[in-house]
C-alpha cells in the first residue's frame, strides 16, 4: 500500500495527499484552504466543528501527527504527507475510545458542539500521560471552550477515563426517574455523527450571505443591484426588503413584533441586515462586502439608556413614545410608609452590561422549496414560533412551512429568535433552489440578541430583629433596537426582584428602553440574574448593618409554603428555599472560619472572602399560556414512538422527557424511539426556554404515558394493578393469575400509523396579573442558593473563585447527572457575568476579545440537590436551567465585599474595576 508521502508525490499539481483516521486520501484544494474546511466540506468529516475560524474556541481541534492543533489555523498545503485524526477516528485509539465512553458516563457532553475538540485534546493528553492529574487535564483542554458544562464533568471524565467501564443505560420498567442515565442522544455527540446547523445541506446548495450595516445607525441607498449580479458570475441574486412577499415584520412576542428581515432605508443597529447575496458557495464566501453597491450615511445614534430617554430624543420606532418599549410593575402594601418606619435601611444603584451568549455553534442551516412549501433545517430553540414567523414573512399558511431543528450547539435563549431562517426562506422561495447559510462568529456576535444591560436602583428596609419590611426597586433595561424578549424581561423582573423572601411592602417598576444597539433578548434568566445582583448585595448590606450573619438573615426571611410572594401567591407546598439555605449552613460556617483564619494569618496581597445568595425562578411563561403537547404511539413491533417537540439544546430534555414518560407508562426506556422537534411530525411543545421543558413538556409526557397505559389496560379489560410487558410484536398484560396478550401485528393502525396513540396537552395553571401585578404568574418555582469562596489579589485586582457550593430545590431530580450539569454550567456562566463578560457593540466582536470562562477559570463545584416536590410537576419535578445561573454572580460579589470591603456599582468585576475600588476604599469611598 502506498504511503501518503508516495501518494503525494504521485498526486497531480493542486492535489494534496494525506492520511485521515488511518485512511489515505487525496483532495484537490487550494493549499491555502483551511484544514477544517477540507475535512468538513471535501471529506464530509463534519465531526470537526467550526466555532470561530480564528483559533479562539478550539472546537476544530484535530490531531496532526498526534499533536492537537486548531484545524482552522492549518492550511491544507501544510498537511501533505501527514496524518490527521478527527473525532470520527478516535475509536482507533484505546485512549480515545475510553474517553468517548467516559464522556457519556459522566455527562460531559451537553450540547456537544465542543465535545469533538475536547475529546481530541484529551486523547492527545492520555496517549502521552495515562494518569494525568487535574492540573494537567485543565492544561490539556484549556484551549477548547465549552459554554454549557462548566468543564467540571469534562475534567472528571478525562480523569476517570482509565477506570470507566460500562454504564447502565436501560433500567427496568418504572425505574428510570431518579437514575443517572446516559443521555439518549449522547453517542452521536461523542462519535462526531451529530448533525448541527452547518453539518448538512442538499448537494449543490447555494450560499446566502447577509450584507450588514457597519454603523450604529445609518441611512442607506442601494446602487445598481442588477449590474452587481451581472458583473459577478456565480452570484445568482440579491435580496432586499422588496423581496419579502408577506409581512416584513416579525418578533417573538406578536403584539410587539417590529423587526424586518431587511432594514428599510435606515438601519437601526450595527449588524442589521440590509440585503442578502445568493450564489455559488466559493463565490459568495470570497465576496468582499465592501464591493456591494450600497451607500451609507451614518446618523447620530442613541447608544445608551440616558440618551434614549432624553427629552426630544429621536424615536427609534415612531409609535413608541420616549423610546420606551414597555413597562413592568408589581406593587404590594405601602412601600413608602414601611421604609419610613424601618429600623434599618440600605440603598444602592447597580449596573450590568451586555452579555454575549457565546454558544460554540454559530447559527446555521439550510432551506429548500418543495412546491408551495418551504422546509428549513436549522439550529433553533423554538421550531413552532419559527414556523409562524416564516409563514408571515412569506405570506403563506403555517402548514406550508416545515421547520426541522438540528442539534443545537448551545442556545441559552438567543436561538429563540430568528437568525438565518428568514434569509434562507426567502432565498429558497425565490430561487427554487436549496440554499445554506452559516454565520461567522463575528456575524453571530454583532447580529444576535444579548443579555439586557440593566441599571437598577433600590432601597430596602427591615426591623432591628432582621425581618424584611420593604423593597423599592426600579430598573431600566437596554433592549436595543428591536423588541425581541424585552417585554418578557420587563414583566418577569418585577415578579422576581424581591428574591425568594417574604417582603410585605414592595414596589418594582421596570422599563425596557430602545437604543440603537444590538437587540437584547432572552439569556438564561430573562433579567432575573441582573436583578439578583442588585437585590442580593443590598440584603447583605442590611444584614451587615444589623450585625447579623448574612446566611441567617436570609433563612429568617425565606419564603415558606404559606407566606405570600410579592404577587400575593401562596404556594401551599414545594417551597424549598429555606431547605436550600439550611443545606449550606454547615459549609458556610466552616468557610467563614477558614476565611477568617486565612486572612488573619496570611501576609501579602491575598485576601479571601465567602458570599451567599439566594434565588427563585418561575418555570414557564409569566401569566400566559404555554402548553406542550406530547404524542406517543404503540407500534406493531412493540416499540413506543415518543413524539415530543421540545428541542434539546444540551440541557437533556430528550432524555428527561423520555424518563418521565417511561415511568408513567411503566415501560423500559430502551423501548422508546424518540421523534423530536420536527414541526411536520411532532406536536407543539413550545419553546425551550424559561426552564419549562422538564416541567411542562415532562408533565404532558407523563399524562400521555399514563393514558397509553390506561388504554392498554382498557383494551385487555385489566385492572389498574396489572403489569404491562412490552415485547417484540406483542404486549402482555399480567393481572393476578390472568395473562392477556395483544398481538400487535394483528391490530389495525390508526391515523398516526400506530396500534394505539395517546396525546396529552399540559398548560400550567396561572392567572393574569392585575394592574398592581398581583396574581399567580407561575404554577411552579425553582429555588436555590449558592455560596462562593474566593481569593482576591489586592495588588492586581484579580479575583479567583475557589469553590461554589450550589444547593437547588429541583422538586424531583429526574436525572441527577444532567441536573448537576446544568448547575455547573450555570455557575460558569454566572462566574463569567460576575468577573469578566461584557460586550461593547462595535468592539471585540470575536471570541478573542470577548472572554468567557475557560477550564482554568473554573472552581470546584459542589451540587446539593433538594427535593421538595412540586404538587403539579411530573413526579414533583421543577426546572433548573435558568435557576442555576442566577445566584452565582451575587454570591461572588458578596464574597468580594467580604474579602476586601468593596461593592462595585458596575459589573463585571474586572481587575481594573476591582483595583480602582480597592484604592478608592483605602481613601474612604467604599463603592466602586
Ligand atoms: S474554529 Fe478553530 S479555533 Fe475556533
Ligand atoms: S457541551 Fe461544551 S459547548 Fe456545549
Rounded-to-integer distance, Cα 236 and Cα 244, Å:
17
The three-state secondary structure class of 211 is: strand
DSSP class of 57: S
CB neighbour list of residue 723: distance below 8 Å, 6 or more residues apart: 173, 666, 733, 734, 735
Joined together, the cell numbers standing for residue 508 give 418594582
**Do the Cβ atoms of 618 and 488 come closer than 8 Å?**
no
pLDDT confidence of residue 166: 54
Task: Tell me how far the alpha carbon of residue 59 lies from the centroid of ligand 1, in angstroms.
Answer: 5
Task: Tell me how far the alpha carbon of residue 3 lies from the centroid of ligand 2, in angstroms.
Answer: 37
Bridge pairing between strands 83-85 and 15-20: parallel
Task: Tell me how far the alpha carbon of residue 49 lies from the centroid of ligand 1, in angstroms.
Answer: 8
Rounded-to-integer distance, Cα 819 and Cα 207, Å:
39
Rounded-to-integer distance, Cα 740 and Cα 904, Å:
70
Considering only CA atoms, give the Rg of the chain. Answer: 28
Joined together, the cell numbers standing for residue 219 give 441611512
| Size (the chain), residues | 928
Ligand 1 atom with the smallest distance to the CA of 70 is 2
Rounded-to-integer distance, Cα 581 and Cα 864, Å:
11
Residue 632 CA: distances (Å) to CA of 44, 311, 637, 706, 748: 35, 57, 14, 10, 16
Name residue, grid cell 468557610. 591
| CA nearest to 515, candidates 455, 445, 458, 440 | 455
The ligand placed nearest to the CA atom of residue 37 is: 1
Rounded-to-integer distance, Cα 522 and Cα 385, Å:
14
Task: Tell me how far the alpha carbon of residue 113 lies from the centroid of ligand 2, in angstroms.
Answer: 5
pLDDT confidence of residue 10: 47
Which of 114, 156, 192, 854 best tests ligand 2's pocket when mutated (most atoms within 8 Å of CB)?
Answer: 114
Q: Which residues of 881-918 are buried (b: 16+ CB within 10 A; e: fewer)?
A: bbbbbbbbbbbbbbbbbbbbebbbebbbbbeebbbebb
| CA nearest to 725, candidates 633, 632, 640, 814 | 640
Ligand 2 atom with the smallest distance to the CA of 108 is 1
pLDDT confidence of residue 4: 44
Ligand 2 atom with the smallest distance to the CA of 110 is 1
The ligand placed nearest to the CA atom of residue 153 is: 2
Task: Tell me how far the alpha carbon of residue 699 lies from the centroid of ligand 1, in angstroms.
Answer: 40
Per 3-state DSSP, the chain is made up of helix, strand and coil in percentages (nearest 5) of 35, 25, 40
Element of type H or E holding 105: helix 94-106
pLDDT confidence of residue 302: 98
Ligand 2 atom with the smallest distance to the CA of 361 is 3
Task: Tell me how far the alpha carbon of residue 33 lies from the centroid of ligand 1, in angstroms.
Answer: 14
Residue 838 CA: distances (Å) to CA of 108, 302, 319, 453, 501: 27, 19, 31, 9, 29
Rounded-to-integer distance, Cα 679 and Cα 684, Å:
7
For the full predicted model, state whether its pTM sits above 0.75: yes
Rounded-to-integer distance, Cα 403 and Cα 375, Å:
6
Identify the residues whose C-beta falls under 6 Å from ligand 2.
109-115, 146-149, 360, 410, 650
Q: Which residues of 330-347 are buried (b: 16+ CB within 10 A; e: fewer)?
A: bbbeebeebbeebebbbe
Joined together, the cell numbers standing for residue 196 give 448541527
Rounded-to-integer distance, Cα 715 and Cα 484, Å:
49
The ligand placed nearest to the CA atom of residue 116 is: 2
Joined together, the cell numbers standing for residue 135 give 492540573
| CA nearest to 57, candidates 100, 116, 15 | 116
Where does 249-372 show beta strands of DSSP type E? 266-267, 273-279, 294-298, 324-332, 344-352, 364-370
**Lateral strand order in the sheet of 23-28:** 23-28, 15-20, 83-85, 61-64, 67-70
Neighbour count for residue 737 (Cβ, 10 Å): 5
pLDDT confidence of residue 928: 55
Ligand 1 atom with the smallest distance to the CA of 72 is 2
**Do the Cβ atoms of 692 and 617 come closer than 8 Å?**
no
Ramachandran angles phi, psi of 493, nearest 5°: -60, -45
Q: For ligand 2, atom 3, which residue shows the shortest CA distance?
A: 146
- The answer, yes or no, to whether the previous bond of 508 is cis (omega within 30 of 0) is no
Task: Tell me how far the alpha carbon of residue 144 lies from the centroid of ligand 1, in angstroms.
Answer: 9
Rounded-to-integer distance, Cα 21 and Cα 24, Å:
8
| CA nearest to 883, candidates 651, 558, 537, 549 | 651
| CA nearest to 877, candidates 705, 697, 695 | 695
Task: Tell me how far the alpha carbon of residue 540 lies from the centroid of ligand 1, in angstroms.
Answer: 42
Residue 293 CA: distances (Å) to CA of 220, 275, 417, 423: 10, 10, 29, 19
Rounded-to-integer distance, Cα 353 and Cα 908, Å:
8
Which of 148, 358, 381, 847 best tests ligand 2's pocket when mutated (most atoms within 8 Å of CB)?
Answer: 148
Task: Tell me how far the alpha carbon of residue 409 lies from the centroid of ligand 2, in angstroms.
Answer: 7
Rounded-to-integer distance, Cα 378 and Cα 805, Å:
37
Joined together, the cell numbers standing for residue 23 give 485512511
Neighbour count for residue 163 (Cβ, 10 Å): 8
Ligand 1 atom with the smallest distance to the CA of 60 is 2
Q: For ligand 2, atom 2, which residue shows the shortest CA distance?
A: 146
Identify the residues whose C-beta falls under 6 Å from ligand 1.
50-53, 55-60, 70, 72
Joined together, the cell numbers standing for residue 737 give 393469575
Q: Kindly tell me the sign of the dihedral angle through the C-alpha atoms of 532, 537, 540, 545.
A: negative
Task: Tell me how far the alpha carbon of residue 205 lies from the centroid of ligand 1, in angstroms.
Answer: 24
Task: Tell me how far the alpha carbon of residue 824 lies from the centroid of ligand 1, in angstroms.
Answer: 24
Ligand 2 atom with the smallest distance to the CA of 59 is 3
Q: For ligand 1, atom 3, which residue shows the shortest CA distance?
A: 55
Paired strand residues for 296: 220
* Segments of the chain with pLDDT less than 50: 1-12
Q: Kindly tell me the sign of the dihedral angle through the C-alpha atoms of 84, 87, 88, 94.
A: positive
The ligand placed nearest to the CA atom of residue 49 is: 1
Amino acid at each position: 500500500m502506498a504511503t501518503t508521502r508516495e501518494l503525494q508525490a504521485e498526486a497531480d499539481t493542486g492535489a494534496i495527499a494525506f492520511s485521515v483516521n488511518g485512511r489515505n486520501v487525496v483532495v484537490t484544494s487550494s493549499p491555502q484552504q483551511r484544514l477544517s474546511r477540507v475535512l468538513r466540506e471535501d471529506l464530509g468529516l463534519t465531526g470537526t466543528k467550526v466555532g470561530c475560524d480564528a483559533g479562539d474556541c478550539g472546537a476544530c481541534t484535530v490531531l496532526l501527527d498526534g499533536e492537537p492543533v486548531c484545524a482552522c489555523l492549518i492550511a491544507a498545503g501544510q498537511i501533505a504527507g501527514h496524518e490527521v485524526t478527527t473525532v470520527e477516528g478516535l475509536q482507533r485509539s484505546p485512549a480515545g475510545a475510553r474517553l468517548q465512553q467516559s464522556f457519556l458516563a459522566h455527562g460531559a457532553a451537553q450540547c456537544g458542539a465542543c465535545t469533538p475538540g475536547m475529546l481530541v485534546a484529551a486523547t492527545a493528553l492520555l496517549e502521552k500521560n495515562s494518569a494525568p492529574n487535574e492540573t494537567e487535564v485543565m492544561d490539556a483542554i484549556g484551549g477548547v471552550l465549552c459554554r454549557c458544562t462548566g468543564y467540571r464533568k469534562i475534567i472528571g471524565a478525562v480523569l476517570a477515563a482509565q477506570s470507566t467501564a460500562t454504564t447502565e443505560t436501560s433500567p427496568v420498567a418504572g425505574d428510570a426517574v431518579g437514575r443517572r442515565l446516559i443521555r439518549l442522544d449522547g453517542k452521536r455527540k461523542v462519535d462526531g455523527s451529530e448533525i448541527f446547523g452547518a453539518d448538512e445541506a442538499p448537494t449543490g446548495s447555494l450560499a446566502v450571505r447577509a450584507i450588514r450595516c457597519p454603523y450604529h445607525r445609518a441611512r442607506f441607498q442601494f446602487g445598481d443591484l442588477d449590474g452587481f449580479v451581472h458583473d459577478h458570475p456565480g452570484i445568482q441574486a440579491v435580496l432586499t426588503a422588496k423581496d419579502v412577499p408577506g409581512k416584513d415584520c416579525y418578533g417573538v412576542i406578536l403584539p410587539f413584533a417590529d423587526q424586518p428581515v431587511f432594514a428599510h432605508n435606515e438601519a437601526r443597529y450595527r449588524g442589521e441586515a440590509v440585503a442578502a447575496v445568493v450564489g455559488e458557495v466559493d463565490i459568495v464566501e470570497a465576496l468582499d462586502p465592501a464591493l456591494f453597491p450600497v451607500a451609507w450615511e451614518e446618523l447620530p445614534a442613541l447608544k445608551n439608556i440616558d440618551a434614549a430617554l432624553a427629552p426630544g430624543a429621536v424615536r427609534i420606532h415612531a409609535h413608541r413614545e420616549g423610546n420606551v418599549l414597555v413597562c413592568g410593575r408589581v406593587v404590594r402594601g405601602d412601600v413608602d410608609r414601611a421604609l419610613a418606619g424601618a429600623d434599618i435601611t440600605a440603598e444602592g444603584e447597580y449596573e450590568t452590561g451586555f452579555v454575549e451568549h457565546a454558544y460554540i455553534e454559530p447559527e446555521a442551516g439550510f432551506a429548500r422549496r418543495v412546491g408551495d412549501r418551504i422546509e428549513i433545517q436549522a439550529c433553533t430553540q423554538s421550531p413552532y414560533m419559527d414556523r409562524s414567523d416564516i409563514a408571515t414573512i412569506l405570506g403563506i399558511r403555517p402548514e406550508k412551512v416545515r421547520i426541522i431543528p438540528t442539534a443545537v450547539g448551545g442556545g441559552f435563549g438567543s436561538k429563540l429568535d430568528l437568525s438565518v431562517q428568514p434569509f434562507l426562506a426567502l432565498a429558497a422561495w425565490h430561487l427554487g433552489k436549496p440554499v445554506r447559510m452559516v454565520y461567522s462568529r463575528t456575524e453571530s456576535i454583532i447580529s444576535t440578541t444579548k443579555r439586557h444591560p440593566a441599571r437598577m436602583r433600590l432601597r430596602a428596609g427591615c426591623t432591628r430583629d432582621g425581618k424584611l419590611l420593604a423593597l423599592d426597586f426600579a430598573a431600566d433595561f437596554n433592549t436595543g433596537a428591536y423588541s425581541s424578549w424585552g417585554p418578557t424581561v420587563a414583566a418577569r423582573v418585577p415578579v422576581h426582584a424581591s428574591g425568594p423572601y417574604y417582603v410585605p411592602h414592595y414596589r418594582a417598576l421596570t422599563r425596557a428602553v430602545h437604543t440603537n444597539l444590538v437587540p437584547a433578548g432572552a439569556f438564561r434568566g430573562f433579567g432575573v440574574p441582573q436583578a439578583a445582583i442588585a437585590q442580593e448585595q443590598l440584603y447583605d448590606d442590611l444584614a451587615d448593618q444589623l450585625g447579623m450573619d448574612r446566611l441567617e438573615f436570609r433563612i429568617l426571611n425565606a419564603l415558606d409554603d404559606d407566606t405570600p410572594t410579592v404577587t400575593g401567591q401562596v404556594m401551599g407546598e414545594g417551597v424549598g428555599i429555606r431547605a436550600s439555605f439550611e443545606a449550606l449552613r454547615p459549609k458556610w460556617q466552616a468557610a467563614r472560619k477558614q476565611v477568617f483564619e486565612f486572612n488573619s494569618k496570611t501576609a501579602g496581597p491575598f485576601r479571601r472572602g465567602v458570599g451567599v445568595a439566594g434565588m427563585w425562578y418561575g418555570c414557564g411563561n409569566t401569566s400566559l399560556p404555554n402548553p406542550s403537547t406530547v404524542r406517543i404511539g404503540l407500534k406493531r413491533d412493540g416499540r413506543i414512538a415518543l413524539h415530543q417537540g421540545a428541542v434539546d439544546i444540551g440541557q437533556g430534555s430528550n432524555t428527561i422527557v423520555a424518563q418521565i414518560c417511561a415511568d408513567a407508562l411503566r415501560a423500559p426506556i430502551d423501548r422508546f424511539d424518540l421523534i423530536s422537534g420536527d414541526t411536520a411530525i411532532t406536536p407543539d411543545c413550545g419553546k425551550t426556554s424559561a426552564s419549562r421543558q422538564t416541567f411542562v413538556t415532562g408533565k404532558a409526557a407523563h399524562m400521555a404515558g399514563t393514558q397509553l397505559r390506561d388504554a392498554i389496560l382498557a383494551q385487555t379489560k385489566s385492572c389498574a394493578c396489572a403489569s404491562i410487558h412490552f415485547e417484540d410484536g406483542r404486549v402482555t398484560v399480567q393481572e393476578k393469575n390472568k395473562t392477556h396478550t395483544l398481538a400487535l401485528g394483528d391490530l389495525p393502525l390508526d391515523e398516526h400509523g400506530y396500534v394505539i396513540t395517546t396525546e396529552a396537552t399540559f398548560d400550567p395553571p396561572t392567572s393574569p396579573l392585575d394592574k398592581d401585578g398581583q396574581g399567580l404568574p407561575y404554577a411552579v418555582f425553582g429555588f436555590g442558593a449558592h455560596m462562593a469562596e474566593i481569593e482576591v489579589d489586592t495588588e492586581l485586582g484579580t479575583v479567583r473563585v475557589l469553590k461554589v457550593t450550589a444547593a437547588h430545590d429541583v422538586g424531583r431530580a429526574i436525572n441527577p447527572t444532567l441536573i448537576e450539569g446544568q448547575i455547573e454550567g450555570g455557575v460558569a456562566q454566572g462566574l463569567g457575568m460576575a468577573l469578566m463578560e461584557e460586550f461593547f457593540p462595535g468592539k471585540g466582536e470575536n471570541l478573542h476579545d470577548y472572554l468567557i470562562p475557560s477550564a482554568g477559570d473554573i472552581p470546584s463545584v459542589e451540587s446539593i440537590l433538594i427535593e421538595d416536590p412540586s404538587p403539579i410537576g411530573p413526579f414533583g419535578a421543577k426546572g433548573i436551567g435558568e435557576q442555576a445561573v442566577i445566584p452565582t454572580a451575587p454570591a461572588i460579589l458578596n464574597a468580594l465585599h467580604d474579602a476586601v470591603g468593596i461593592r462595585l456599582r458596575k459589573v463585571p468585576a474586572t481587575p481594573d474595576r476591582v483595583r480602582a475600588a480597592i484604592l478608592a476604599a483605602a481613601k474612604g469611598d467604599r463603592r466602586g
